[in-house]
């Protein structure tokens, strides 16, 4: 079950990288490093995700991917709720992570 969540995190990081560099570090943006390589990472991660979601797996393995996806959706909704409740929270969390 944990492997699925790790794959989702790697997938999200690869998808988010070009947007981050375009928005916060446009002078350092490089097409190869920030678009091509993450796209290759998405393709590499898509293969195991496909086989984890592939139909016909035995119980309980057939519902693990859906539980993982559900956890991601609940986490995103919770983070949206937290940021709407305290709009400065996203900036503070980002600065804490970036400073360490």
pLDDT tops 60 at residue 99: no
Q: What pLDDT score does 97 carry? A: 53
Q: Where are any strands of DSSP class E within the chain?
A: none
Q: What is the pLDDT of residues 16-68, one digit of tens each?
A: 999 988 888 899 999 999 999 999 999 999 998 888 888 888 888 788 888 88
Burial class for 4, CB neighbours closer than 10 Å (0-12, 13-18, 19+): buried
Burial class for 68, CB neighbours closer than 10 Å (0-12, 13-18, 19+): buried
Q: What pLDDT score does 61 carry? A: 79
Q: What pLDDT score does 50 carry? A: 86
Is the pLDDT higher at 82 or at 100? 82
pLDDT tops 60 at residue 100: no
């Amino acid at each position: 079950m944990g492997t699925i969540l790790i794959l989702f995190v790697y997938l999200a990081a690869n998808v988010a990288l070009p947007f981050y560099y375009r928005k916060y570090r446009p002078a350092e943006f490089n097409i190869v490093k920030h678009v091509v390589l993450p796209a290759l990472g998405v393709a590499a991660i898509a293969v195991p995700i496909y086989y984890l979601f592939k139909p016909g797996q035995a119980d309980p393995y057939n519902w693990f991917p859906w539980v993982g996806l559900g956890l991601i959706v609940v986490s995103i909704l919770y983070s949206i709720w937290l940021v709407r409740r305290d709009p400065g929270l996203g900036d503070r969390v980002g600065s804490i992570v970036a400073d360490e």
